[in-house]
Amino acid sequence: MSQTNQVRWTTADLELLPDNGNRYEIVDGELFLTELQLPTLVQQLNVLHHLTLMLTVL
């Protein structure tokens, strides 16, 4: 029977990770990373359009 050494992440480990905009989460000792996604110009224009529409209704 083979045994693998599995790393279990802790909140102390989480504090050592860089504050670079990425989202780090630990679930049951496993580290998950969500990379920072910057909004595209199309998304920003879409938000601006909807905000303009909402403000004209008020």
User: What pLDDT was estimated at residue 4?
Assistant: 66
Length in residues, the chain: 58
Q: Give all strands (DSSP E) within the chain, no chain letters.
A: 23-27, 30-34
pLDDT of residue 5: 73
Residue 38 has pLDDT above 60, yes or no: yes
Boundaries of every domain in the chain: 11-57
pLDDT at 2 over 60: no
What's the rounded Cα separation, in Å, for the pair 31 and 34? 10
* Arithmetic mean of pLDDT, 26-43: 90
What three-state secondary structure class fits 11?
Answer: helix
Give the model's pLDDT for residue 36.
Answer: 81
